[in-house]
Amino acid sequence: MAATAAVLAAQPEHESDRCGSEEEENRGAEAPSEEEGVQQHQQQATGPAAAGGHNRLSKLPLTRIKALMKTDPDVSLASQESVFIIAKATELFVEMIAKDALVYAQQGKRKTLQRKDLDNAIEAIDEFAFLEGTLD
């Protein structure tokens, strides 16, 4: 909606206010709706190989995550949506802890994360308190 409003606001009110070539008029003639633009972007980003499901939006292999989820005796079925949410949460968690550990690597003038950087991040940040002792 906001994108549509911005496009409309950018267009001149009167036909006489327009200046430019026919190419400029043809470029803005029929812009896709916001939903169509998202669909086109997803199709371009995924290609034909990942046409189904949420696989194209996840960096982790969803089949492996589903298999890991099913190792829990309390889980008998796992929907695609739940597997995707677990994958996305895992990605965000790994990204967050890696960024926090990177601070410690940079303090040591290194570009490569080491175990001690993760240990330091776990000890220093309260959100990671549940991980204390897991890397031992």
Query: 39-50, pLDDT tens digit by residue?
Result: 544 444 444 444
- Residue for token pair 């327009």: 18
Span 125-134, average pLDDT: 92
pLDDT given at position 134: 86
| pTM higher than the cut 0.75 | no
pLDDT given at position 14: 42
**How many of the other CB atoms lie within 10 Å of CB of 70?**
13
Query: 85-99, pLDDT tens digit by residue?
Result: 999 999 999 999 999
At residue 57 the predicted structure's pLDDT band, cuts being 50, 70 and 90, is confident
Q: Pick the more confident residue, 60 or 46.
A: 60
Instruction: Report the share of the chain in percent with pLDDT over 90.
Output: 54
- Answer whether residue 35 shows pLDDT above 70: no
Per-residue burial over 100-117, b if 16 or more Cβ lie within 10 Å, else e, is bbbebbeeeeeeeeeeeb
Q: Are 103 and 120 in contact (CB under 8 A)?
A: no
